[in-house]
Every structure is written in C-alpha cells, then in structure tokens.
Amino acid sequence: MSVADKTADWWRGAVIYQVYPRSFQDTNGDGLGDLKGITRRLPYIASLGVDAIWLSPFFKSPMADMGYDVSDYCDVDPIFGTLADFDEMMAAAHGLGIKIVIDQVISHTADVHPWFVESRSSRTNPKADWYVWADPKPDGTAPNNWLSIFGGPGWEWDGVRRQYYQHNFLTSQPDLNFHSPEVQDELLSTVKFWLDRGVDGFRLDTVNYYFCDKLLRDNPPHAPDTSDGGLDAPDTNPYGMQNHLYDKTQPENVAFLQRFRALLDRYEARATVGEVGDGARSLKTVAAYTGGGDKLNMCYTFDLLGPDFTAAHIRNCVDAFQKSVADGWVCWAFSNHDVNRHVSRFAKTAEERPVVAKLAMSVLATLRGSICLYQGEELGLPEAELAFEDLRDPYGIRFWPAFKGRDGCRTPMPWEAAKAHAGFTTAEKSWLPVPYEQAALSVDLQEGDVQSVLYHYRDTLAFRKAHTALLDGTMTFIDTSRDLLAFTRKKGTETLLFVFNLTREPAEFALPQGMISDERLDMPAAKGSVVGGKVLLGALDAFCARVS
C-alpha cells in the first residue's frame, strides 16, 4: 500500500475522540461550551494520541434536542460561535495532525427549518412532499402504529394540511422524505458545503432511519424469540415492543449511501461512520452498509453500549461481526452521549471504577476495528446523578422516574478541581451541574500521575500505535475453559497474544499447545505473567506477549 493509500485510509484503525461541544469548554461565560473552547483545549486532545475528533452537532437549532434538531445545515448556532470560529478550530486541529468529523443529522430537521415551514403550509407548495405526510384513517387516528423513540405515536397532526407527519423522535423533529430525489439532492448539497470547507468526515446520525416504507405498513409486534428486535431502548419504552420492519432500515437506503459515498470520493481522504440502531439486526445492517467499498467506510452499533462487560459478550459481538461483515469495517465504543457512562455500567463498586476504567480501555484498544472515545471517559468519570429539576433531556423528562435520560453522561468536562464548575465556565451557573465526584477526577489532578486513568489512556494509545497489528491486523479468538477473553492479533511477522480476566477472581490460562511466549510486552496495567506454560492473572487483570 502506498503512502497516499494509507492517508486515504486514515480511518481504518483510527482512534476518534467525541466532543460534546456544549459540555466541553465555555469561553464566553454563558454556561455553555463553544467552538473557541474546543480550540483552546486542542492541545489536551492531541496529548491523548487520538487521530480525529467527532463533533456532536453545532448547527443552528432551536435546541429542543440539544442540536439534533437542525434548522440550518450550513451555519453555526450562535451559542457555539460562528463559521469563522469553526474554521479557526479546524485549522488548529489540522495543524496538530487531528482530523475533524462532524455529526450529520439528516434523517429529520427541526420544525422551524424553512423547508418544513414551507412544506406544512399547503399540499401543493414546491416542498409539499419533502417530509413524510399521510392522511388520517377514517376515524381520524394516525396512519399506522409506528411509535416515536421519545414516547407516544410516531405521527403528529398538522391542522393546516389536515394530515399527519412522521417523527421518529420529538414532535418538533419531522422526518424528511428520502423517497424524494429533490430532498436527497438538497441534503447532499449541504454535505458538499462542509466538504468544501475542509472537514475530514461525517458521523451519520441514525443512518438506517432515512427511509420508511412507501406503503406505511404497520410494524408487527416484537417477538422475543425471533432474531429481529427493536431498538436498544430502555424497557420502560414501548418502542421496543415492535419489530421495526417498516419505519426504518429500508432497502432504498443502500442506493442513497452509494450517492453519499460517490460525493465523498470526489475529495481526498474523507470518511464516514454510520450510527446503526437496529436491535438484533444491527450486524446485518452494518454488513449491507459497509460492504463493497461503495457505501459507508464504517459503522458502529449499540452492541457494546449496554451493561454487559464479560468475556463471553465481547467475544460474541466481535466474532459475530467478523463472520457477518466480510469486507466492511466497524468502530467500537463503550460510551457516548446517549448512554450511561461505562465505568458506572461495568464497575460493581465505586472503589473498583479506576481499575475497570483502565481494563476497559485496554480491551477496547486491542479489538479489531476503529475505536471511539467519549470525552471524560479518559478521566474515569462515572455517570452523574442528577435531580429531576436539573434535567434538560426531553427523553429523560418524558420517561422519568423509570428512565432518567441522557443528561448524566453529558455533564461538563472537569478541568480544574479547585475552580467553580471545575473550570468549565466562569458563569454563575452551568447548563448542567458538575457533580463533586466528577470534579474530584478533573484533568489537573490526573496530569502527571502515573497511576491515573488519564495516564493509562495516553499510555495505552501509544502502545496501540506502536504495534501495527492492532490497527488493522487479523484477530483470532482462543477458546478458554474460564470466563476469559483470549485472542491473537497478527500482521506480517508479528503475532500478539492478549488475555483479559474480566472477573473478580484470579484465573489461569493455559497456553495453547505449540504456542511459545517469546516476549512479555509491557502493556499498560497488564500484570499477568507466565509460569510453567500458564498465564496467571489477578482479578480484572490482563496479559500481553509476542508469541510464535
């Protein structure tokens, strides 16, 4: 592979750091993070050793869903700054060798978007079919049984058109009609706007939600004993009671993704990562969307974003992907802005959180695929416990108290423990509070501490980059008699053995017959050792060696 080809494939095996802009760094004292704050903190991000930043939405928006309800795809919302601020931030990132990936939310818009304002004004205007409109049933009820992920029916009545419009999320987030070629063309023009501006890629929000069934057929009930299920949603949400055959993951989506890729291929070294929320069908969808080299570069699913941190679960997920997706690529993550922080999900006690945080990072960094880190996980931040009156997430407010929503993982980044709001803002009040237990894990307290979670992240990412087998080498699992995760990563003449004990008890792993441990490697926080042909591991421990 030539140097140019390697540059084009920068995303393969990349480490992507997700920044949630409103919670990263405030520079103007309004209690909300902004683009200038990201620019200010770029040296910190670069110090982690990541390859790219994924920016959650910063576009103009009424912010009903924290920016995932876009009212202008080609401008920056004033709370975050200006287009000039974005250009400055991107130039500074590129100067540090960091790529910029932006969150493209094109399955729906805000209801104040000019497209929707025109579309709802009549049934005959030029944009009348730009959204999914349908007549009511004879009794006035919604066209079918589709549900909204954020609660209630997936349809909202509009009195002017005297029709329902579809919304997979809030009623103020109407779904675009991708069956319209004009809609596709206009959306791709907004993508081109950012490509021309120099962005390196796109994270495609809810990428399998673009099309719905033309016939608007009812979804059947979700049968737990079948292979196809609903979204990875809390069990308090009736959305998971349906098998979502018709309101998402339609076959027409593949052709649109080919159009999207054809546009990107007109530019150098650009990439896409798609978010696939499709229940038990996720891997089939990833295979369809990433195979063939003419659609998405990679996808990520919700498979590792649940509470299960066991060897069996991780192996099943990775093994299933490798068997299902022959020529595609995956991006693994344990946390993001939509789920409880994984330290709280995986650790059984507060005392073991730092150990679990380090072990989880070691596992993630050695899996085959690209990886995504969510801001603050490198500090070992736990999920924040917030009072109802502090919530800002409409999802949590709707399902409280059975489901508290997503605000607990979106609290501001703690930079300096001794300052108000841990140095995030000089405002009297930040948009979400910074809990004491998060402030106690701030960046300034962990800098230079070789025992800290932050130090471990930096060290582990350096270890990953030092071994090309970890970037795109093959991965082969080894059967074990215990709940251990054992596999090799191989590229060229280098074969690395990894063994992880995710249990709370010491464990032994017998080296397979004929496997010789040539050299134990100093993988960060890996204390396991070889004695008499066996790898001895402590609780929540790891081992790494070159083998032949």
- Say whether 156 is catalytic: no
Choose, from 158, 205, 247, 378, the residue flagged as catalytic: 205
Least Cα distance to 344 among 409, 415, 277 occurs for 409
Is the distance from CB of 495 to CB of 469 less than 8 angstroms?
Answer: yes
Alpha helical stretches, state H, 428-548: 436-439, 443-446, 453-466, 469-472
Residues contacting 392, CB < 8 A, separation 6+: 66, 407, 431, 432
Within 10 angstroms of residue 6's Cβ, the number of other Cβ atoms is 11
Cα 396 to Cα 403: distance, rounded to the nearest angstrom: 6
Q: Which of 65, 77, 247, 275 is catalytic?
A: 275
- Helix, strand or coil, per DSSP, at residue 544: strand
Q: Is 256 exposed, middle or buried (0-12, 13-18, 19+ CB in 10 A)?
A: buried
Report the distance separating Cα 146 and Cα 168, nearest Å.
9
Question: How far is residue 105's CA from residue 66's CA, in Å, rounded to a whole number?
Answer: 12
- Three-state DSSP state, 442: coil
Cα–Cα distances (Å) from 115 to 109, 112, 127, 426, in that order, read 9, 8, 7, 38
- Report which of 471, 448, 467 is spatially closest to residue 458, judged by C-alpha positions: 448
Tokens 């945080």 map to which residue? 357
Neighbours of 492 (CB within 10 A): 8
d(CA 296, CA 253): 11
Could you tell me which residues come within 8 angstroms of residue 406 by beta carbon, excluding any fewer than 6 positions away?
Answer: 337, 338, 339, 393, 395, 396
**Residue 508 is among the residues annotated as catalytic for this protein:** no
Residue 67 and residue 52 in contact, taking contact as beta carbons nearer than 8 Å:
no
Using alpha carbons, select from 228, 9, 192, 221 the residue that is nearest to residue 99.
Answer: 9
Q: Which residues, other chains included, contact 416 with Cβ-Cβ below 8 Å and sequence gap of 6+?
A: 422, 423, 442, 443, 444
CA distance 202 to 191: 9
Instruction: List the helix and strand counts (H, then E) for the chain.
Output: 16, 21
Transcribe 189-223 into DSSP letters.
Answer: HHHHHHHHHT--EEEETTGGGS---TT-PPPPBPP
C-alpha 10: how far from chain center: 18
Q: Is 217 exposed, middle or buried (0-12, 13-18, 19+ CB in 10 A)?
A: middle
User: Rounded distance, CA 322 to CA 394, Å?
Assistant: 37
Active site residues: 205, 275
